[in-house]
Amino acid sequence: MKISKIKKTSNSKYNLFLDNKEKILTYDDVILKNNLLYNREIDSELLNKLNIETKYYDIYNKCIKLIGIRLRSEKEIVDYLNKNNILEDQKKEIIINLKNVGLINDKQFTKAYIMDKINFSNCGPIKIKNELKEHNIEDSIIDNELNIIDSNMFLNKIKKIIDKKIKSNTKYSDYILKQKIMTDLINLGYYKDDISYCLENIKVNNENLIDSAYDKLYKKLAVKYHDKELYQKIKIKLYQKGFSISEIDEIINQKIN
């Protein structure tokens, strides 16, 4: 088989037209690398080589497009290559080439990942670090990039989350709400000391909450209990909800009188 014509396509590839009416769609790098001039003879061995190299550039360009959407860790690219059954030698070559042109850089990926999590999620530093470790990022890289971040950024995020939870709270007492906030923020990956610091001067107004809680309990329990037993049951339930004895005694006295 011989090449009778080479024509560029609209997607920056090239069609190699053969004298047997077949054609090969490939890249300029493959053409130059193999010196595919007009009338160049193509045997089965060269044809197989062209197919392998074309597949290499197909995947390489797809990797570039993936990284163009957002930065990727080396692990993400390796996982993508594994899914596409790339030969081990080609996989290594793609990774090396992407590193050489700066498209794979775990330090830059880590920096961008941290800022995205700070700006677009409620994740704390512990959770961010654990997620980055799933990308096989070295601890030293993660720690260095997290240490650059102003600690006030995470404190401000904690305060915003606390404010939002307090404003939306309709049933939890001061004590219970703070315990719940502590648990939620720890699960989001914030340090316990930072959470405690932000919760220190927070005071939930229990007055309306205990009033509402009392009314609901009275309506529910008055069907079954009466007089002293009823108020004792209400007292126990309110205590379980985190209200103090003094608060409970006060609301019961108000309601009775």
DSSP notation for 63-131? HHHHHHHS---HHHHHHHHHHTT--HHHHHHHHHHHHHTTS--HHHHHHHHHHHHHHH----HHHHHHH
pLDDT tens-digit readout, 51-79: 889 999 999 999 999 999 999 999 999 99
What predicted TM-score, i.e. pTM, was given to this entire model?
0.75
3-state helix, strand, coil in the chain (%, to 5): 65, 5, 25
Query: Which residue stretches of the chain have pLDDT < 70?
Result: 38-39, 204-208, 257
Stated as kind and residue range, the H or E segment containing 4 is strand 3-8
- On whether the 106-149 domain is CATH 1.10.10, my answer is yes
The 3-state DSSP class for residue 41 equals: strand
- The whole-number pLDDT of residue 206 equals 60
Strands 3-8 and 14-18: antiparallel
DSSP for residue 2: B
- The whole-number pLDDT of residue 85 equals 82
- On whether the 3-100 domain is CATH 1.10.20.10, my answer is no
pLDDT tens-digit readout, 211-243: 778 888 888 888 888 888 888 888 888 888 778
Angle between the N-to-C axes of helices 74-83 and 44-69, in degrees from 0 to 180, rounded to the nearest 10: 140
